[in-house]
Every structure is written in structure tokens, then in C-alpha cells.
Chains A and B, each alone.
Chain A
Amino acid sequence: MSYLNISHKDSVAIITLDLPGEKVNKLNETMMDEFSSFLDKLETDNDLKGAVLISGKKDNFIAGADIDMFQARETAEEIEQLSKDGHKILNRIAEFKKPIAVAVHGSCMGGGLELSLACHYRVCSRSSKTVFALPEVKLGLLPGTGGTQRLPRLIGLQKALTYMLTGKNMYTRQAKKMGLVDEVTHKDAIEEAAIKGVQKIADGKFKRDDKCSFVEKLLEGNPLGRKIIFSQARKKTAGQTKGNYPAPPKIIDAVEYGYKHGLKNGLENETVLFGELGATQESRNLVNLFFGMNASKKVPNPDLVKPVKKLAVLGAGLMGSGIADVSINKGDYQVLLKDQSIEKAAEGEKSIWKDLNEKAKKKIISEFERDQIASKVTGVDSYDGFKSVDLVIEAVFEDLELKQNIVQQVESATGENCIFASNTSSLPITDIAKGASRPENIIGMHYFSPVQKMPLLEIITTDQTADWVTQTAIQVGVKQGKNVIVVQDGPGFYTTRILAPYMNEALKLLEEGASIEYLDKIMKDWGFPVGPMALFDEVGIDVGAHVAETMSPMFAKRGVDTKNKAQDLLDAGLMGRKNKLGMYRYTDGKKKEVNSDVYKQFGGSQRNDPDKETAQQRIALTMINEAVWCLQEDILSSPTDGDLGAILGLGFPPFLGGPFRYIDQTGVQNIVDTLKAFTEKYGPRFKPAPLLEDMAKNGESFFCE
């Protein structure tokens, strides 16, 4: 099978990229080899003026380099060689005597964009499907086929740095404005436009306009101005990465080197830096995360899935409307959003509409599309219309009796095959299913707030949950754009269960004298996006107290002290961000301030911050150890799920790869030793999970790499 289909039109070769057996085009060695031999032909064929590259895939140009290529390579040298091979052909394109143009429709990512940058003329379609990005930074890498050199030279230094450091998307309007593409037209005309582009260049009639503004030229056009830009970028990046991610500084290095030493040297240097980054543990972890995330977007057993057309969400609060939002925006489901009063339901509809209206204002969608999408959710205050609902997701107040009542109401309002999913964060699904007439239809679907942004969906099955119910719930989650993990029922399931000791440990440290801002700072330094104290306020201290209550019997059995300190805070009127008073005080329009009243209940106003590393280890290891307990008790079915859940649901540092990869990389024995030392010093809550001790004894690890 051929990766490239070549035809001729008006003395121009049309090369259609079409990776066999895949939905999207990926750059791999075979495709590059074929391209190389095509260039040989193009060079010698006097009838051809040039070439146009176009994709044979629907809504995709090139999704990027095939990441399997990195997986197969270990050392920095091997990875550098990979980059060098890519450079060889892209440099050849860039320096080619005959013009080569790209006609882009659909996503053009990473290596695909770098290939386009090496070409001489770029046309793209005016479509919301057409998106450009250099997302390498998200994998702990840098654009390693000339991107760090060619992009800044084309669109300007500052803009290029922004796109490379964030990996964010660029849409057609911006692409044209910045000069990334030379021409934008409708998708059925891109080929013709690219042919014309080739002919223009061949005839010497094309000159590219510089799209940089006067100010940009002034700043970027001299070494001093650039120095300021680079130092600013480094400062900002360091603040954001806390030094945990090696890729961003290397990207800046690569760009700067190119400006100082010229394009050719810059390109060579890029391959070296690429090799160095590719071999880092951080990049390895991020690439594994990428694979894990892709795998979690697939339904393991699609044959069992029953069709779901109409969804109902009970409770139109933040959570409920968030679930409805992703269901209509991503999932294309028809949704009934039910609350006790129509006014409350309307509030939920309103929050969804507002987001859509923002998009309409930004011209991402039209007002009509806004109406169309918003029409898919209907706020209601009764069970009318529930007969045809295929899946009910409840997001009501965390009260077992209430939820059990709702199960019965829903069962009588819906048909035999309606799935009942609870979005509880800690109540055992088995308990919710007690008294249900169709317990096999009951499942947990635990979303994370804000639902629109948080990628994880934790699905919880009980012993009774039918397989088709699980597979159908996974399918719905995937359609809602979520990364899905499936766990077994138990107190706190997986995510809440490992979060509870983590939060508890932070409170212990607070009690021992650590200050609120210190605890947040050290855990952010360790790599969490939010510190534990701020997280308390975000989740809600009331929720925290409730979770602690639900979980305490389980921890008590292991001899852990289960004093519910969060309850004390709640009793003192602290709820977190929702009532603007928690670990911090929140004032509209002002930065949050530490609420020092909290110290009254946690060891007085005298603060004495403990050793940073010990404190970080204590907080992190309680979570990590609990994750192992979950695997041992079959709550988790695999360490991969555990890593995904912790990273995507709780913000566990992605560069560390998740709790299980962290253990592997730190060494099982080392972890056990630390935990044992902590047990002696701080109490039985640090007792290593038996599985961990066994593995240390046998010299095993969670992943074989």
C-alpha cells in the first residue's frame, strides 16, 4: 500500500497523503521515505513546475509525528537521530528548487505544521475544523523538525514562543492574520489555490508580505529587544513550571540559539535539544500519559452498548448543569435538566446558554448554532417525558436517603432499560442501590468540577451492575469528551479515597504549625496545580467534612485516627469559596487572603513551617500509599487507571507519571522505607500497603519498562 497518491494537474504534481488503515495522517518513516523518492522524481521531471501536498483524510491534514517512533527509541542519541532524519527531508523541501505548496483542511498539528512551514506556500480552508498547533510541549518535547526555527521567522518571535510554549490551537483567521498561511479559501478550492501558488512562485511572481506589526519589528528586530523577550519568557515559564518541566526552557533555548547562530546552526541545535528532552523521565511520563488518555477514550466492549439518545440530569446546580453542558455540546444528546423548581432548572439552562453565548460573541459559533445547541437541554421540574430517557444522572445533594428515594422515583418514571447513574463523590453505589427494583441498572458516574474543564470521568460499578450498563456508561462518558476509568465500588471509590488521606495529612501539618500559604506553596512546587488548602475551599469544606465522615470507618479499621477536623471548620461557619470564607477569605475583585482565624482550631496563631521535603513527602505519600491499597483491594483494575485518575481527576503532577509510576521511578523499596520511617514517627496512617511490601520483597514494579 502506498502512503502517497500522486497525480498531475496543470504541470503541478498533486500529492495526496493517505496513511492506510488510519483515520488521520501521521508522519512516520515510511511516509518520509516515499516522499523522499518522490522529490527525486520531481527534481528531474522537467514537465513539473512544482508540487502540492494535500490530505486524503476527512477533516485532517496531518495529526503529527507518529509517537510510536519515540517509544521505540531509548537514548537521547537515538531520539536525536530521529529528529535529524526528519530535518534532512524537511530541509531538502525548504531548499528545493521547485516550489512545493500545502493545501490544508482539518487539523495540522506538530510535525504536520512543521512540514507545512518547510514548504513554500500555504493555503488553508476556511473551516472550524482547520486548526494549527505545535503541541510537543505537552509531551515534554520541543518541535523537533524545524518548528523552533521556522515558526518565529515566519510569524514573529513573541507569537511563535506563545504557541510553542502553550501548545495552543491557532484557527484560520489568526493563521492568516499572522502570516502563517498565505491564503484562506473554502475547502473545495484549496487544491486549486495551492496550484496557483506554485505557479506564481515558479513564475517568480510571489512575494510574501511581512505581517508583523511595527512594534513587533522594533522589538524583535534587534538582539537587545530579543534578549528582553527571552528573559521575560524564561521568567514567566519558570513561574508556571516551578522547574518541574524541562521542555519550555529548552524551547526558549532552541529559539534563542537559532537567532544568535543562524538558521542552519539553529536547526542542528534543535535536534540535539530534542534528543535530550525525549530521553527525560518527564517526557517519558507525559508520553505515557498521552497513550493512557487515548486508551481511556475507547469503549472496551462496544457490542454491549445500548443506544442512548435522551439523558436526564437531576439537579441543575454547578455539577448538574456542567454534566448537561458536556452532554449537549460534546455528546449531542437531548437532555432534560430537572430540579425541584422550574426556576432552579432555568438557572442551569442559563449557565449553559451563557457559555454558548460567549462562544457566539467570539464568533466561534453563530447565534443560530447557539440556539440549536441550547435547545437540546430543557429545564423541567417534573418527571414528564422521562419514559423515553435512556440514562439518568443524578447530581443532587449528598444524602443517602435522598438518593435512595430518587432511585425509586426514577425507576417508576422510566422504562426497564433506563440506567441510573449517581454522581456522588463518596457515597457507596451499593448503598444507593439498596431498595432499587433494578439494581443491575445502577452505576456511579463521578464527574469532577468544573465538568466542562476536568477531563476525568470515574465510573463505579457494583457487584450487581450489568455489563451492558457499564459499557453504555463508558460510551456516554467518551462522547461527553471524557477520559474514563472504571473502578469498583467502595468508600470514596478511587479518587476521593486517595484524596481523603492527602487532605487529612495537610490538616495534620496545619495542626502541627505549618501555615496555610506554606502548605499550598510546597505542594504547588511539588507539581500540583492547586495546593491542598486552596483545594479545600474549591471543593467545599462541607463536602470535605462529609467525605471524611463517610470514609472514617474504613480508616478506623486500619487503626488510623479519624478525627474529623473539617467538621470543626464547618461548625465554625467555614465552607470555602461557596460562602467566601474558608482557609482563605474571598472578596470580589480582590486577591484571596489567608483566613488566620483557622489557626485558632489548628494549634494557635504561632506558625512554624516544617521542613519542606518532609512535609511534601508526608502529604504526597499518603495519597500514593492509598492508591496501592486501592489496587490491592481491586478497587482499581490497573495501575494505569490509577495514574490516569490521579492526574486527570486530582491534579497529581503529570510529569511524575501518576502514583504508580512515581513508585516505580522512586523505587518500591525506597517508598516502603520512607513509609515505615513515617509510621514510626507520625503514626499508623503511614503503614505501607501490604501489596507494596510484598513487591519490595520480591523486587517487583508496577510497570515493566
Chain B
Amino acid sequence: MKGDKYKNISNTDKEKRFNILIYWLTLLTYTPVINCYLDHTLTLNDQIPANPTFMSNTNSNSFNAVIVDGCRIPFLRSGTNYNDMMAYDLGRMAIKGLLARNPVDPKDIDRVIMGTVIQEVKTSNVARESALGAGIPNTVPAFTSTMACISSNQAIASGVDLIRTGQARIILAGGTETMSDIPVRFRKKFRQKVLEARKYKKPTDFLKFFKGLGFKDLLPELPAITEFSTGEVMGESADRMSARFGISRIDQDEYAMRSHHLAAKATEEGLLKEELIPAKLPPKFEVVKQDNGFRDDTSMEKLGKLRPAFIKPHGTVTAGNSSFLTDGASACFIMEEQTALELGLKPKAYLREYNFVSQDPGEELLLGPAYAIPKVLDSMGLNLKDMDVVELHEAFAGQVLSVLAALDSDSFAKENLNRDTKVGTIDMDKLNTLGGSLSLGHPFGATGVRLVTTAANRLIREDGKYALVSACAAGGQGHAIVLERYEG
């Protein structure tokens, strides 16, 4: 996830210690609206085993899932142009953009699946609201998947499953996230009082409201920023993991700089045009055409000046080598192969094997890809060298480099993967060549579809056969999927 977010939040916390009177007055008026959704969203801790029945149908006669098209609105730093939008609005724009450029009658869509992490209470099934708001008929079911940073990877995986099992032919999978409007709540005691107040009957009952309520209880509370199970901040985990794999500050800064420069280059050369759809923001309908998070002028000098954000003073993870708070949304069409062809669409790639893995959220919070990648390669009988395109989610530079180091380590392979030799090295020329989450941004719920879309587009542009997509997520989970370019 992200580095300087925690700093921001504590600053905001300080700034928000005013207007409390207004807060609770408003609250008394809108008592029934209060609800709680946040605690668990950042702390997904369930073990989801990969289902073995779906593991080996690459060449069978069953239904093949293909990605036909994918797009995203530009990813923007939080608090910038999307500041007034809800996640619902962002999701709507992505869906609408996808519908506009594809010959699919919205009523023929079998399911809409959207990933999201920070949930807005008003739109807890944001997939449904975004779908309806984007003009998809009310007869198309929609559900929201939430699995931290791999939420929309899960959306795609669910879509693939529905297609393979013959339950669906056209899936709209996507993700949406705003970090510009995270739900700020009242403290537990105050919340309890407010809910209790609904039962008050006489005006004098309201005197009870203040009984036992201290000034501190009136302060707003920001969403949990730590791993629920361990109480550790994600940046700390990344920092510790970098130390474990011997990733230096310089290595991390260099990787971050690479990401920013590649994103800038790709944007300038128009290589992201295919996946970007312009966002037009009401009421003024200003047009946003590209991401605003990457810094083409980033240098080692600039990055070197930043102080450690989590482990002070000797830590190596800084705001500069972490992904930043981002708003954005993505959407893609996943279809059953024949259906796509009947619609006259040329699929970009087959969605082949995928898996989800999970480890100890304390020690290996962000190491998921090191487990998921060998597993998915084994299931297809392929190895890293066969991969022409690799798209890895970049939560922290230190995290990416740790994953690469783990894959390239014999001892890690022996101790953790139960294999004799290392998985191998990933050629840097194939990895995230258009930038990554560090530079393009990371709207949690939307990143997975970006990775898969980019990988599919790169396969075609770079004339490759296989693409590997992998990502880590809070809760110590991870995901990997292999795409095979669609020939013909």
C-alpha cells in the first residue's frame, strides 16, 4: 500500500480537532446513518485456498476466459482533481468508458464485479451502484469484492471462474477507490451514545446523552491504519522485509526512480493511451487525460533527501520509494472466448492459471508474489524465462526488490517453497516497463485490473506469448495470474 499516508493522517487528525460541536449536532440530526464498515476492510485475514478444480484446464474443451478490453480513468494523487468524487463516480466513469468503446449491449453483461477497499457507507456494494449509475440495466447483478490491494484481481478471478463453470459469458470486472474521502468516524463511545439516543423518548432523556461523555470522545477518529491482526503499519513491514533481504536504501531509491521515469516515458510516448480513457468531471467537465502522480524529474538526489517514514532513524522506506495515496478506477471485459468472437471482438489474451496465497501477516506481509509466482508457473509447467511480460504491483520499492530477491534465492526456495533451487530471476527489461504503482499510483481496489490490462496490451505490442501478473496485499496475501496472448 502506501508510505506517507500515515503521516498525512496524523496531521489531519491534529487539524480536525475543531468543529466538534457541529459534528455532534449534525449527528444528532442524522443518527440512523451512523454505521461501521471500516475495521475489517483493511485487515482481510481469511485464508483463501486456491481451488484445485480450476487449476488445469488450459487445453481442455471447457470454456476459455479471455480479456477483450480494459481501461481506466487516469490515476490521480488523492486530494487533486477527483477530490469531490465518490468512489461510485469514479467506478461509473470507468464502466461508461469501457461500454462506450465496445460493441456490447449492456443488458448482455452477466455480472459486474468491482474491487474496492475503503468502503463508503452509502455505497457498500459499490459495484452495483456504479453499474446502475453507468447505465447498465438493473437486471445485471453486481457484487463488490474486497481483498485489500488485490481486490480487483479477485474480481477478475471470480469472473474467470464464472466463465469457466459456464455460469457467465460476459463479465465486467473492475475496481474503484478514492482516498480523498475516507470515512472519518466518531469514537466508539460517542457512536454508542448516538445509537442509544434513537430510543430516547422525552426531551429530558437527552440529558443522559452527555453523561459519561468526555471531551476526548467527541474527537473524530480516522480509519485504522495498521494491520488489524498485528497492529503494525504496512510501511514498517516493508522496511523490515527490505532489511531481511538486504535491500539498501539506494537500491530502493533507484527502483523508485526507474518506475517514475518509465511512467513518464510511457506517458509521453503514448504507450498508456490504449488503457486510459479521459475523465470528464462535473460540474465543469474539465478533462483529465493522464495520470498525475509520476515525477519525471525525480532524481537520486531528490529521493536521497527524504527521511525514513516508518522506522526512524535507520529505516530505508521513505515517502519517495513508497506508493502514494491515489484515487482512480478501472474496468475490463472478460468474456468466454466464443462469445467474444461472435460479437466480432478480438480478444487480447487468454486468462490462464491464477492463484491466491497467504502467509503470516506479521513476518511476510508483502511477500505474497514470491509464493504465488512459482505456484502459478508450476501449474502451467512454465518457468520465469517463458514469461515475456511481467507486471508486478509496486507497493513499496523495497517490497518489489524483496520479492525479486526471494525468487532469486536458493535458500528461500528450500526453506519456504519446498523446492531445491531458486525460482529464478526476472529480467528487468520485462518488468513494469510502463511504470508501476509507485509512479502511476495505486487506487487499492483498481490496481489489479490495471496490471492485467497493461500486461495484455504489452503482450500484443511487444509480440510476446506469456505474461505474468502478480501482486501482494494487506493481510499477508498474494495473487498471481498468467496471460497467454490471443493469436489470430
Contacts and interface: CB of A to CB of B under 8 A. Distances in A.
Interface in A570-597: none
Given A357-B283, A385-B100, A388-B103, A371 B133 contact: yes
Interface in B279-309: 280, 282-287, 289
B287 A342 contact: yes
A353 B100 contact: no
A177 interface: no
Contacts, number: 63
A388 B99 CA distance: 11
Contacts of A353: 282-283, 285
A350 B344 CA distance: 32
A385 B280 contact: no
B285 A336 contact: no
A336 B344 CA distance: 19
A253 interface: no
Contact of A334 (B89, B135, B283): B135
B133 A349 contact: no
A289 B409 CA distance: 86
Interface string B266-289: 000000000000101011111101
Interface residues of B, number: 26
Interface hub of B105, B106, B285 (most chain A Cβ within 10 A): B285
Given A334-B99, A379-B280, A346 B287 contact: yes
Given A349-B280, A387-B344, A372 B133 contact: yes
Nearest to A352: B285
B103 A372 contact: no
A286 B183 CA distance: 59
B134 interface: yes
Interface string A341-363: 01100110110011001000000
B135 A376 contact: yes
A342 B92 CA distance: 18
Nearest to A373: B135
Contacts of B134: 375
A376 B100 CA distance: 9
A382 to B, nearest CB: 9
A347 B102 CA distance: 23
B101 interface: yes
A380 interface: yes
| Majority secondary structure of chain A interface residues (helix, strand, loop or mixed) | helix
A385 B101 contact: yes
B96 interface: yes
Contact of B133 (A368, A385, A388): A368
A354 B283 contact: yes
Query: What interface size band does chain A fall in?
Result: 20 to 34
Nearest to A335: B100
B97 interface: yes
Contacts of A371: 89, 92, 133
A378 interface: yes
B132 A336 contact: no
Interface in A377-407: 378-380, 384-385, 387-388
Contact of A350 (B96, B100, B284): B284
Contacts of B282: 350, 353, 357, 374
A387 B280 contact: no
B100 A378 contact: yes
Given A342-B289, A378-B97, A387-B344, A372 B278 contact: no
Contacts of B101: 380, 384-385
Contacts of A97: none
Contacts of A349: 280, 285
Interface string B247-283: 0000000000000000000000000000000101011
B103 A385 contact: yes
Interface hub of A342, A349, A375 (most chain B Cβ within 10 A): A375
A596 to B, nearest CB: 39
Contacts of A336: 100
B124 to A, nearest CB: 15
Nearest to A388: B103
Interface string B125-141: 00000001111000000
Contacts of A387: 103, 344
B100 A380 contact: yes
Nearest to B132: A372
B68 to A, nearest CB: 13
Given A309-B105, A334-B99, A385-B101, A375 B135 contact: yes
B318 to A, nearest CB: 36
Contacts of B102: 385, 388
A350 B282 CA distance: 7
A385 B282 CA distance: 23
Given A334-B135, A353-B285, A346 B280 contact: yes
A387 B104 CA distance: 10
Contacts of B135: 334, 372, 375-376
A377 B92 CA distance: 12
A374 B132 CA distance: 12
B287 A343 contact: yes
A190 B280 CA distance: 44
A346 B97 CA distance: 13
A385 to B, nearest CB: 4
Nearest to A348: B285
Interface string A212-240: 00000000000000000000000000000
A379 B277 CA distance: 11
Contacts of A379: 280
A371 B101 CA distance: 19
Contacts of B104: 388
Nearest to B97: A378
A374 B283 CA distance: 12
Interface hub of B96, B100, B132, B133 (most chain A Cβ within 10 A): B100
Contacts of A374: 282
B148 to A, nearest CB: 28
B3 to A, nearest CB: 33
A380 B102 CA distance: 13
A368 B104 CA distance: 23
Nearest to A368: B133
Contacts of A384: 100-101
A376 B344 CA distance: 23
A371 B344 CA distance: 30
A375 B286 CA distance: 16
A57 to B, nearest CB: 25
Contact of B278 (A309, A334, A342, A388): A342
When A and B form their complex, which 3 residue pairs have the shortest distance between CB atoms, in order from nearest?
A: A388-B103, A350-B285, A385-B101
Given A347-B285, A371-B133, A378-B100, 20 more contacts: A334-B106, A336-B100, A342-B278, A342-B280, A346-B287, A349-B280, A353-B285, A354-B283, A357-B282, A368-B132, A372-B132, A372-B133, A375-B134, A378-B99, A380-B100, A384-B100, A384-B101, A385-B101, A385-B103, A388-B103
22 contacts: A309-B105, A334-B100, A336-B100, A342-B278, A343-B287, A346-B278, A346-B280, A346-B287, A350-B283, A350-B284, A353-B283, A353-B285, A375-B92, A375-B96, A375-B133, A375-B134, A378-B96, A378-B100, A384-B100, A385-B101, A385-B103, A387-B344
Interface of B: 89, 92, 96-97, 99-106, 132-135, 278, 280, 282-287, 289, 344
